[in-house]
Structure 1
């Protein structure tokens, strides 16, 4: 197994060295930004995903996530060490479709511990793209430092033709090493763009330009280490939040239910019967749903104290409070800018503090 991994690492490194100079976005990597003062100390925390994936021998579309370890990724990107003093560690090595609450808590605790050390100036987390936006926003709410935390991923595995992971990792390290990244909250760097964790979402199944911040736009641009910043997020994050993972062993269960024509209320009842403390509805339009479902949600909120958040299956726009449904009367929360996955993350953490709709609504407005 060890020999196989070493072989894979050599193959990856050799492949990337040959490939990167042919890519327009990678050519200037030979001209790293000029160092000014001591190099920042950046820790790369790996969790697996496509960025560490390898295709099969046939070169087919399929691939295995997490085939490479963090050391392989660092060694496979030319000139990466010119940006910062690097170190790495492997927290888990999974495809992000298998990301779960236990890994979130483990990752957050480790990130906070690293950021508390004077030997770490910034962190890059490598992550699969399927749930990257959720992990990024979770960290944005529970990280207790203004030091940069940057998540990177890729849409193509490390051994694919035109692999995008190396450039994303290069740019991610550049952002994590930048003093201007401090205090901006957790960031996602991918496809030459920088996004705030609260705003970014995956918009395409396979394209490399899949990540966008549809309502607010990117937080910045980065091309082979050269960074241009946009306006920072005007919402609370990291040190300014009321949330903490310290002492937490589990998170409250929150389920997402997808609204559609003829939506049945029995899914609502089933979720609550199976232990859901909160429900996020990916509603139609402005967070709407069938009248039977509205009635069922009002009942579980009133009788069981289940927190109900109305979000939308529509990719852009806001779900406004009391716009189509009387949220005040029914005890519902309107998600505002947050899509269903982000709403779930915030609701899980909100439920560690309260189950009162008015307090949860305040959190959705402030964060």
Structure 2
């Protein structure tokens, strides 16, 4: 790459990208260190980028916790305070890569970009995508064009905003898409080529893992509300993954109104693509009816993103009106 030498920090969390076969079970498990991962990437040394390697943890993506993410965010922010690193790469399992990227984006307080990547095919498989994804992530983290962009995901030579990216397939190497507007750009010839606009980002939050228990309730056909009523004393906040643009069965309306009078209840869509509406439908259980009853629309956030944002807000002692105002910033 042209210009002055660049420095990128690598944090390895485990996941498919770091898995090898376990002789005891015959299945793959996280075992490779960050140094092991880097050793598998052809041409990385030729980039002339100084890599600072951190073995953060070695767990499947499904086993990452909010404690892990808060500690990772704090470690990244502390490293960037010194200004000696131009970018950061995080490798992890793709099961929770959307949530990690969104959490880190909420808490990122520096100009240097944070790039999250992983693999859909583990290193024992033909066509393993881990080395290529890691190479592209390092290129992205070192590229000056991505300064001030917060946290991004790089998979399959595409650059995706943490706000918009979704894992849309269980096994395909092309699993990661941004259905709301497409990728921000691509990686080619060791450079980032931007084609999209980065969404606005709110002021960074403190990375908190404790202080709130947030429920996620998915509405389904024939739901009579009996199970929903049991959430009343189980959480400090609730996200409802509703039908379509924010609709629920009429049988759930009274229970949701009672819950919203006690705790913040956020109305998201289980679709994962497109916004929750606010004033189009008017029947009992419609989006406008639920908002009048005290539910907070999630805008374009997925239920999983809404849960993380609500957790951070409640853990920091944010009041209901301020919570609603913050979610309004995610309307687009």
Q: Same fold (TM over 0.5)?
A: yes
CA distance in 2 between counterparts of 1:334 and 1:43 reads: 37
Q: Does residue 131 in structure 1 map to residue 131 in structure 2? A: no
CA distance in 2 between counterparts of 1:154 and 1:249 reads: 26
Provide the secondary structure at the position in 1 that maps to 2:110: coil
Structure 1 residues 1-367: aligned runs within 5 Å = 35-55=1-21, 62-64=27-29, 66-83=30-47, 84-223=49-188, 225-237=190-202, 240-241=203-204, 243-245=205-207, 248=208, 250-274=210-234, 276-302=235-261, 304=262, 306-323=263-280, 324-325=286-287, 326-354=289-317, 356-367=319-330
Residue 13 of structure 1 is matched in structure 2 by: none
Where does the alignment leave 5 or more consecutive residues of structure 1 unmatched? 1-34
Provide the secondary structure at the position in 2 that maps to 1:292: helix
Q: 1:359, CA displacement in angstroms?
A: 2.2
Residue 29 of structure 1 is matched in structure 2 by: none
CA distance in 2 between counterparts of 1:352 and 1:58 reads: 41
Q: 1:292, CA displacement in angstroms?
A: 2.3
**Preserved CA contact (<8 Å) 2:237 2:265:** yes
| Cα deviation 1:67-125 (Å, max 9, x = unaligned) | 10101011111221233111211111110101111111111111111111232111000
Residue 26 of structure 1 is matched in structure 2 by: none
Provide the secondary structure at the position in 2 that maps to 1:235: coil
Q: 1:54, CA displacement in angstroms?
A: 1.6
Q: 1:182, CA displacement in angstroms?
A: 0.3
**Preserved CA contact (<8 Å) 2:272 2:303:** no
**Preserved CA contact (<8 Å) 1:321 1:327:** no
Where does the alignment leave 5 or more consecutive residues of structure 2 unmatched? 281-285
Moved more, 165-174 or 100-109: 100-109
CA distance in 2 between counterparts of 1:213 and 1:249 reads: 27
User: Greater helix share, 1 or 2?
Assistant: 1
Q: 1:262, CA displacement in angstroms?
A: 1.7
CA distance in 2 between counterparts of 1:94 and 1:327 reads: 39
Residue 31 of structure 1 is matched in structure 2 by: none
Q: TM-score, normalised by structure 2?
A: 0.91
CA distance in 2 between counterparts of 1:290 and 1:187 reads: 36
**Preserved CA contact (<8 Å) 1:283 1:313:** yes
Corresponding pairs, count: 323
Q: 1:175, CA displacement in angstroms?
A: 0.2
| Cα deviation 1:332-355 (Å, max 9, x = unaligned) | 111111111111111111223455
CA distance in 1 between counterparts of 2:274 and 2:186 reads: 23
| Cα deviation 1:203-224 (Å, max 9, x = unaligned) | 1011111111101211111135
